[in-house]
């Protein structure tokens, strides 16, 4: 029977503003999950979304919609992102899923009944963006130690979790499992900053907002979002649900991969909750570093395009995956710049890998009519390359086991670089001039093709699209599901065909690309400013005269066509007929009307509004809507009337 391997990403806040940094944790987990599957493990890879809390409640209100409707659109968007990036998760959990809500409620009640949760009044320093209470000693310069923003004094009647009770048990856990918190530096950070100053009981309910999981026995309270969120790792497996077979099979988690800023929640609060529930500990929490963009965790952009959709479309998903997996020394911070992405893509992917594949397939085509030659004219010089291939899997495996992801890639690219050097050393074009060297030429080209096959199999967990393209060049069909095929050097069938495909990674012109990316970044920054116009804000307005009003030209218009604006959950693009003339209007009503519903309707527009570009589309006018702050309905004439009729 296969050994199980349960790996999790944190569940994401549905922000909608995804940048490359967000993809980091998930791409790394995906590469590890894929590697483990190929290496014979029964893998369960979990990801999802963390959808409750005051931030979501506020943002939904700003968008005149309900929190659930608001998060639904964003969740679709993150699923699209994971699809583009080829994330092979086995389950996607949403904290708004019924089974999760019920299980969290049961768990909370259980902890209350057994005395691990109690009710009391709490006064503390609350950081709204982080949804965290902090003690005086934890504040840094009077501000939130996580995000550096100001905190507010807050007082609430709350339920508390007896975290302090678990202080000694946590120390015991760390001592018994020195790798429970990795890398080691994060373990020291947790002990010195949080455990040593003494753990205080944790406030685990809120009454100041509604968007959370209600406490079943006291419905003024909703459960603290971190308790709700952390529990996803077991509710996703059916814990406290109708069928807990996955829980029995996969728990404890082998690896919780998290960003360094949330290690505290995963290594103090989460194990303490599990201890209280009598559940086994996860084996490891790994706190990775950040991808810094413009010197900051969250980007101010600084001319860098950080939209993973845009970058994947422009350079291919594997250029993005490779950058994320290779560039950041694992455990530390790394820096994203457009230059770094282009340099990596050109140097490693276009020059080293792409060239090796195209040179080898071109030579087999030229000298052997595209047929893989025999390899019986071996020479000593071949040994190093063959030896590297034979040892590669064990080395890559050891790096993955030690969570040294960039090192695993370095190991694979060692094969690629050695193979390129082997071409220079053996000079097949010289061998080709001498008919008596034909067998030797065949052996050299075979060794190269076989090294390429090894590289593709090893690369497949990290860059699945590219690995498949290489397999296509070697006419080998689908990528293998395991590593069996690279146990013996010589597995590539003699007599098989190869084809010279398109370049795997076309060489990028640095200057041209930087200029293009700069333009894209500017366009994105502008587009980000636009949505503010979609928010209906109520402000007392100054009185106007009839002459002021007369400046506004209102008219009826008939909707001819209507579609959603790509990558926006709020905007619809409408083509309108206004007295026989067509015009385009972009309107922020997508969360209230479907495109199909709008076609054929008569609306009222501000006809002489200065045109403005929204998401790159020129919007010539505005559709009038009535709104009570929650619902939005468009205004329409009481009876049929020609389009273009004046409204005054």
Q: Which residues bind ligand MSP (CB under 6 A)?
A: 10-13, 21-22, 24-25, 50, 229-230, 232, 258-259, 261-262, 290-291, 297
In the complex, the smallest distance separating the C-beta of residue 397 from ligand MSP, rounded to whole angstroms, is 25
Please say whether the beta carbons of 113 and 149 come within 8 A.
Answer: no
d(CA 603, CA 577): 10
CA distances for 588 relative to 331, 562, 564, 618, 624, angstroms: 42, 12, 10, 14, 11
Write out the H or E segment, with its range, that includes residue 523: helix 510-529
| Cβ nearer to ligand MSP, comparing 70 with 290 | 290
In the complex, the smallest distance separating the C-beta of residue 505 from ligand MSP, rounded to whole angstroms, is 24
Could you tell me which of 60, 66, 61 has the C-alpha nearest to residue 16? 60
Using the structure block, give the residue that is written with the tokens 């302090």: 164
| Cβ nearer to ligand MSP, comparing 230 with 498 | 230
Strands 91-94 and 181-182: unpaired
Q: Which long-range contacts (CB under 8 A, 24 or more apart) does 219-223 make?
A: 221/158, 221/159, 222/52, 223/104, 223/105, 223/108
In the complex, the smallest distance separating the C-beta of residue 457 from ligand MSP, rounded to whole angstroms, is 29
| Cβ nearer to ligand MSP, comparing 102 with 261 | 261
Write out the H or E segment, with its range, that includes residue 431: helix 428-431
In the complex, the smallest distance separating the C-beta of residue 306 from ligand MSP, rounded to whole angstroms, is 9
Residue 257 has φ and ψ, to the nearest 5°, of -95, 125
d(CA 387, CA 207): 65
**What residue spans of 289-404 are helical by DSSP H?**
308-315, 317-327, 338-344, 355-368, 382-401
d(CA 287, CA 260): 4
Q: Per the structure block, which two tokens stand in for 565?
A: 């604006």
Write out the H or E segment, with its range, that includes residue 456: helix 438-459
Please say whether the beta carbons of 335 and 292 come within 8 A.
Answer: yes
In the complex, the smallest distance separating the C-beta of residue 388 from ligand MSP, rounded to whole angstroms, is 32
d(CA 207, CA 192): 32
| Cβ nearer to ligand MSP, comparing 65 with 232 | 232
In the complex, the smallest distance separating the C-beta of residue 151 from ligand MSP, rounded to whole angstroms, is 18
| Cβ nearer to ligand MSP, comparing 232 with 568 | 232
| Cβ nearer to ligand MSP, comparing 94 with 453 | 94
Q: Per the structure block, which two tokens stand in for 99?
A: 């089974």
In the complex, the smallest distance separating the C-beta of residue 323 from ligand MSP, rounded to whole angstroms, is 13
Residue 555 has φ and ψ, to the nearest 5°, of -150, 155
Could you tell me which of 48, 64, 41, 67 has the C-alpha nearest to residue 56? 67
| Cβ nearer to ligand MSP, comparing 335 with 609 | 335
> How many beta carbons lie within 10 A of that of residue 165, not counting itself?
15
d(CA 384, CA 424): 14
In the complex, the smallest distance separating the C-beta of residue 291 from ligand MSP, rounded to whole angstroms, is 4
Bridge partners of 424, per DSSP, are none
Could you tell me which of 444, 456, 461, 308 has the C-alpha nearest to residue 386? 444
| Cβ nearer to ligand MSP, comparing 15 with 216 | 15
In the complex, the smallest distance separating the C-beta of residue 131 from ligand MSP, rounded to whole angstroms, is 10
| Cβ nearer to ligand MSP, comparing 290 with 593 | 290
In the complex, the smallest distance separating the C-beta of residue 287 from ligand MSP, rounded to whole angstroms, is 9
d(CA 412, CA 486): 13
Could you tell me which of 455, 462, 448, 460 has the C-alpha nearest to residue 498? 448
In the complex, the smallest distance separating the C-beta of residue 229 from ligand MSP, rounded to whole angstroms, is 4
Strands 612-614 and 291-293: unpaired
Could you tell me which of 356, 369, 372, 365 has the C-alpha nearest to residue 470? 356
Residue nearest to ligand MSP (CB): 259
In the complex, the smallest distance separating the C-beta of residue 11 from ligand MSP, rounded to whole angstroms, is 5
In the complex, the smallest distance separating the C-beta of residue 293 from ligand MSP, rounded to whole angstroms, is 6
**Rg from Cα positions in the chain:** 29
Please name the residues in contact with 6: beta carbons below 8 A apart, sequence gap of 6 or more.
43, 44, 46, 237, 250, 251, 252, 253, 254, 255
| Cβ nearer to ligand MSP, comparing 31 with 262 | 262
Please name the residues in contact with 596: beta carbons below 8 A apart, sequence gap of 6 or more.
562
CA angle 90, 93, 97 (to 5 degrees): 140
Please name the residues in contact with 436: beta carbons below 8 A apart, sequence gap of 6 or more.
none
In the complex, the smallest distance separating the C-beta of residue 25 from ligand MSP, rounded to whole angstroms, is 4
In the complex, the smallest distance separating the C-beta of residue 186 from ligand MSP, rounded to whole angstroms, is 13
| Cβ nearer to ligand MSP, comparing 145 with 501 | 145
Q: Measured on CA atoms in the order 63, 65, 66, 72, is the torsion positive or negative? A: negative
In the complex, the smallest distance separating the C-beta of residue 288 from ligand MSP, rounded to whole angstroms, is 7
| Cβ nearer to ligand MSP, comparing 336 with 489 | 336
Q: Per the structure block, which two tokens stand in for 78?
A: 């993150």
**Distance of alpha carbon 86 from its chain centroid, rounded?**
10
| Cβ nearer to ligand MSP, comparing 106 with 297 | 297
């Amino acid at each position: 029977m296969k050994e199980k391997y349960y790996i999790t990403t944190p569940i994401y806040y549905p922000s909608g503003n995804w940048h490359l940094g967000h993809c980091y944790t998930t791409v790394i987990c995906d590469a590890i999950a894929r590697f483990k599957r190929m290496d014979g493990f029964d893998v369960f890879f979990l990801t999802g979304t963390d959808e409750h809390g005051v931030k979501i409640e506020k943002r939904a209100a700003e968008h005149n919609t309900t929190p659930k409707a608001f998060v639904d659109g964003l969740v679709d968007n993150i699923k699209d992102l994971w699809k583009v990036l080829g994330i092979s998760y086995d389950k996607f959990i949403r904290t708004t899923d019924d089974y999760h809500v019920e299980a969290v409620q049961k768990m909370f009640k259980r902890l209350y009944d057994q005395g691990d949760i109690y009710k009391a009044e709490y006064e503390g320093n609350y950081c709204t963006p982080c949804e965290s209470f902090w003690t005086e000693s934890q504040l840094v310069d009077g501000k939130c130690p996580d995000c550096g923003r100001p905190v507010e004094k807050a007082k609430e009647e709350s339920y508390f979790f007896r975290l302090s009770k678990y202080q000694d048990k946590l120390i015991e856990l760390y001592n018994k499992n020195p790798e429970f918190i990795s890398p080691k530096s994060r373990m020291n950070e947790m002990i010195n900053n949080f455990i040593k100053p003494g753990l205080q009981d944790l406030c685990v309910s809120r009454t100041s907002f509604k968007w959370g999981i209600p406490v079943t026995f006291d419905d003024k309270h909703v459960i603290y979002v971190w308790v709700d969120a952390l529990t996803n790792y077991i509710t996703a497996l059916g814990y406290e649900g109708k069928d807990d077979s996955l829980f029995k099979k996969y728990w404890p988690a082998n690896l919780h991969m998290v960003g360094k800023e949330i290690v505290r929640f995963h290594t103090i609060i989460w194990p303490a909750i599990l201890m209280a529930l009598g559940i086994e500990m996860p084996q490891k929490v790994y706190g990775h570093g950040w991808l810094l963009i413009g010197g900051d965790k969250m980007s101010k952009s600084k001319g860098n395009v950080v939209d993973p959709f845009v970058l994947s479309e422009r350079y291919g998903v594997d250029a993005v995956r490779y950058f994320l997996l290779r560039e950041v020394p694992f455990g530390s911070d790394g820096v994203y710049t457009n230059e770094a992405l282009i340099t990596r893509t050109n140097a490693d992917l276009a020059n080293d890998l792409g060239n090796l594949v195209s040179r080898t397939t071109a030579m087999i085509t030229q000298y052997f009519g595209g047929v893989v030659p025999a390899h019986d004219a071996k020479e000593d010089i071949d040994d190093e390359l063959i030896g590297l291939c034979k040892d590669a899997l064990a080395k890559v495996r050891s790096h993955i086991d030690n969570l040294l992801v960039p090192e695993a890639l370095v190991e694979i690219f060692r094969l690629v670089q050695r193979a390129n050097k082997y071409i220079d050393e053996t000079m097949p074009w010289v061998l080709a001039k001498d008919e008596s060297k034909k067998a030797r030429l065949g052996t050299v080209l075979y060794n190269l093709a076989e090294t390429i096959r090894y590289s593709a199999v090893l690369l497949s967990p990290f860059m699945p699209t590219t690995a498949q393209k290489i397999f296509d060049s070697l006419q080998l069909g689908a990528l293998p599901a395991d590593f069996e095929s690279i146990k013996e050097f010589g597995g590539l069938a003699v007599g098989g065909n190869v084809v010279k495909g398109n370049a795997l990674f076309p060489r990028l012109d640095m200057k041209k690309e930087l200029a293009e990316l700069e333009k894209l970044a500017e366009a994105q920054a502008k587009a980000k400013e636009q949505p503010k116009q979609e928010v209906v804000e109520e402000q007392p307005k100054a009185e106007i005269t009839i002459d002021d009003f007369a400046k506004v030209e209102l008219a009826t218009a008939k909707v001819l066509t209507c579609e959603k604006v790509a990558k926006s959950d709020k905007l619809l693009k409408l083509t309108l007929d206004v007295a026989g003339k067509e015009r385009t209007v972009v309107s922020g009503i997508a969360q209230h009307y479907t495109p199909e519903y709008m076609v054929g309707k008569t609306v009222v527009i501000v006809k002489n509004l200065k045109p403005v570009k929204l998401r790159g589309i020129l919007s010539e006018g505005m559709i009038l809507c009535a709104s009570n702050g929650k619902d939005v309905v468009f205004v329409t004439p009481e009876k049929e009337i020609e389009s273009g009729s004046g409204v005054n």
